[in-house]
Amino acid sequence: MDLIKNRRTIRKYKQEDVAATLLNELLEEAFRASTMGNMQLYSVVITREPEMKAKLAPTHFNQPMVKGAPVVLTFCADFNRFSKWCRCRKAEPGYDNFISFLNATSDALLVTQNFCTLAEAHGLGICYLGTTIYNPDKIIDILQLPELVMPVATITVGYPDECPAQPERLPLEGILHEEFYHDYTPEDIDRIYAEKEAMPENQHFVSINNKETLAQVFTDLRYKKADNEYMSGTLKETLKRQGFSE
Amino acid sequence: MDLIKNRRTIRKYKQEDVAATLLNELLEEAFRASTMGNMQLYSVVITREPEMKAKLAPTHFNQPMVKGAPVVLTFCADFNRFSKWCRCRKAEPGYDNFISFLNATSDALLVTQNFCTLAEAHGLGICYLGTTIYNPDKIIDILQLPELVMPVATITVGYPDECPAQPERLPLEGILHEEFYHDYTPEDIDRIYAEKEAMPENQHFVSINNKETLAQVFTDLRYKKADNEYMSGTLKETLKRQGFSE
């Protein structure tokens, strides 16, 4: 599986389309991922039409991949279909609650990653857009998602038109814990982040932003407390609106 | 990637151990999954000691895989390490909120699925335990997870000692939506669930439980409203305890 080891996120795609038969085949295989009680608590909305991409783009902060990729996939946590089935079968569904949202989110994200691996194995490139849960309310309106359906991940898909460098990753010892969590001392933190901080591109990033440390680029510019709190509010409101609030 | 197409969840494992070098290699490769802003918002706790497995088993409703597998992995959403790094670098982290929990959960689940694919490609079998978020408070105590760390997925790993039948999946048309969500009519539901309901093992399941429909087995026995509401409460309390409540 050198494929996974050598993968890179692709943000620039060729004009070439992705055949619907291939896409369906990859999605069908992706649905082999583990799913809670075999309930398959997800749906996938496939966006190909330029006008739909144009509507979605602002919800993803106009990242160019949305309009630039032949296919945009929105993976949704979905308890609607299952609940409708229950109601059609004299059964009263009890999935309008927070744990059900997380169960469906888990199902949806496992399938998302499975799809990404399969797509890359077939020569496609993907980009995972973390912005999906920043503007879920707007995505819900555009894709007409009913109650008990929440968008949780967006993937842009197409044939790669670039081969970017692989980003660095933290050393294994920074992530793994034997038997129980060994919390990090300041010395651990220094060691774990040393390589990341020493990279010329990261140092450049600090200097062009007039910051003192790389961490400040994250806290002061990229992922700010005020933004996170605002988006947490939107997310909670949207969960309520979609009926996952009990 | 017939590997993914033909996969099955493995619940019975050989006595054979999983070498630490192999496990580390698979985890390192799994960490190539997409991650928000390259923050790698996850940690993995590796359980091998029998006494730790014995402690974890009840939190997973004593499913036999926990004690029966050579390795149990708990994948955690983790903003602790990143926040500690910020504090060591004159930056004030703002990740004690709900969106940060979901961002870290997404990171952790993508890595979880990536690991499962890699493990299976190396001849290992895995079982995904959805029970992790049912008793997160107890898992936190056992694994000594600090604030801003939440367990979100557990995987048991070992060499397969069974080859079960592949479970059915819904037809593609039940999951995919072109351009926007086409909500399901009762006729759609009948069509989508027909094959599942006609399966002898599912019909057997209905009859041994003295139910009228398969859906009732889910709503009345397997995933009950009252249980979901109770566990939603625990989950919310635990998120507050772990500091993700803003």
Strand order in the sheet with A42-47: A125-129, A149-158, A71-78, A42-47, B176-178
Q: Is the pLDDT of residue A179 over 90?
A: yes
Residues A41-70 have a mean pLDDT of: 98
Q: Which of B22, B71, B81, B124 to mutate to test the interface with A (most CBs of A within 10 A)?
A: B81
> Distance (Å) from the C-alpha of residue A64 to the closest C-alpha of chain B?
17
Mean pLDDT over the full length of chain A? 97
Measure the CA–CA gap between A156 and A128, rounded to whole angstroms: 7
Measure the CA–CA gap between A223 and A201, rounded to whole angstroms: 19
**Helices B186-198, A80-88: inter-axial angle, 10-degree rounding:** 80
- The owner of tokens 């993968």 is A7
**Residues of chain B found within 8 Å of residue A228, distances taken between Cβ atoms:** 94-95, 97, 99-100
Q: Hey, where are the domains in chain B?
A: 2-163
Exposed / middle / buried, residue B18 (Cβ in 10 Å: 0-12, 13-18, 19+): buried
Q: In this predicted structure, what is the pLDDT of residue A245?
A: 85
**Chain A with chain B: Cβ pairs closer than 8 A:** 339
Q: Which of A5, A94, A231 sits opposite B29 (nearest CB)?
A: A5
Residues A116-140 have a mean pLDDT of: 97
**Residues of chain B found within 8 Å of residue A199, distances taken between Cβ atoms:** none
Q: In this predicted structure, what is the pLDDT of residue B4?
A: 94
| B152-188 tens-digit pLDDT | 999 999 999 999 999 999 999 999 999 999 999 999 9
Q: With bands split at pLDDT 50, 70 and 90, how would you rate the model's confidence at A2?
A: confident
Q: In this predicted structure, what is the pLDDT of residue B2?
A: 86
Residues A23-29 have a mean pLDDT of: 98
> Distance (Å) from the C-alpha of residue A110 to the closest C-alpha of chain B?
5
CA-angle at B129, arms to B100 and A118, nearest 5°:
75
Per-residue CA distances from B6 to A26, A30, B2 (Å)? 13, 11, 6
**Residues of chain B found within 8 Å of residue A170, distances taken between Cβ atoms:** 31, 40
Residues A102-112 have a mean pLDDT of: 98
Q: In this predicted structure, what is the pLDDT of residue B246?
A: 72
The list of chain B residues with pLDDT below 70 reads 1
User: Integer distance in angstroms from the first to the last C-alpha of chain A?
Assistant: 42
Contact, A111 vs B114, CB < 8 A?
no
Measure the CA–CA gap between A230 and A92, rounded to whole angstroms: 35
Measure the CA–CA gap between A28 and A18, rounded to whole angstroms: 15
- Going A99 to A137 to B108 to A37, the CA torsion angle's sign is positive
> Distance (Å) from the C-alpha of residue B241 to the closest C-alpha of chain A?
17
Per-residue CA distances from B208 to A139, B4, B63, B201, B204 (Å)? 43, 32, 21, 11, 6
DSSP SS3 for A72: strand
Contact, B79 vs B148, CB < 8 A?
yes
Closest CA to B39 of A205, A33, A193: A193
pLDDT over 90, % of chain A: 98
Measure the CA–CA gap between B231 and A104, rounded to whole angstroms: 15
DSSP SS3 for A16: coil
Q: Which long-range contacts (CB under 8 A, 24 or more apart) does A189-196 make?
A: A189/B81, A189/B84, A189/B85, A189/B88, A190/B88, A192/B81, A192/B85, A193/B85, A195/A168, A195/A171, A196/A168, A196/A170
Query: What is the DSSP-derived secondary structure letter of residue A13?
Result: B
Q: Which of B122, B126, B176 to mutate to test the interface with A (most CBs of A within 10 A)?
A: B176
Q: With bands split at pLDDT 50, 70 and 90, how would you rate the model's confidence at A1?
A: low
Q: In this predicted structure, what is the pLDDT of residue B245?
A: 85
**Longest CA span, chain A:** 64
| B38-50 tens-digit pLDDT | 999 999 999 999 9
Which segments of chain A does DSSP mark as H helices, in order? 2-5, 20-30, 50-56, 65-68, 80-88, 98-121, 136-143, 186-198, 200-208, 214-217, 225-241
**Fold classified for B2-163:** NADH Oxidase (3.40.109)
Measure the CA–CA gap between A87 and B33, rounded to whole angstroms: 38
Superfamily of domain A2-164: NADH Oxidase (3.40.109.10)
The CB density around residue A139, as the number of other CB atoms within 10 Å, is 24
Measure the CA–CA gap between A118 and A128, rounded to whole angstroms: 14
Closest CA to A153 of B54, B102, B26, B82: B102
Interface ipTM above 0.95: yes
> Distance (Å) from the C-alpha of residue B180 to the closest C-alpha of chain A?
4
Closest CA to A26 of A97, A158, A151, A114: A114
Q: Is the pLDDT of residue A12 over 70?
A: yes
**Residues of chain B found within 8 Å of residue A112, distances taken between Cβ atoms:** 110, 113
Contact, B235 vs A98, CB < 8 A?
yes
> Distance (Å) from the C-alpha of residue B197 to the closest C-alpha of chain A?
11
Q: Tell me the pTM.
A: 0.98
Q: Which of A118, A170, A224 sits opposite B94 (nearest CB)?
A: A224
CB contact under 8 A, A31 and B5: no
Q: Which of B81, B179, B235 sits opposite A184 (nearest CB)?
A: B81
Chain B residue with minimal CA distance to A142?
A: B180
> Distance (Å) from the C-alpha of residue B159 to the closest C-alpha of chain A?
18
**Residues of chain A found within 8 Å of residue B120, distances taken between Cβ atoms:** none
Three-class SS of chain B: CHHHHCCCCCCCECCCCCCHHHHHHHHHHHCCCCCHHHCCCEEEEEECCHHHHHHHHHHHCCCCHHHHCCEEEEEEEECHHHHHHHHHCCCCCCCCCHHHHHHHHHHHHHHHHHHHHHHHHCCCEEEEEHHHHCCHHHHHHHHCCCCCEEEEEEEEEECECCCCCCCCCCCHHHCEEECCCCCCCHHHHHHHHHHHHHCHHHHHHHHHCCCCCHHHHHHHHHCCHHHHHHHHHHHHHHHHHCCCCC
Q: In this predicted structure, what is the pLDDT of residue A158?
A: 98
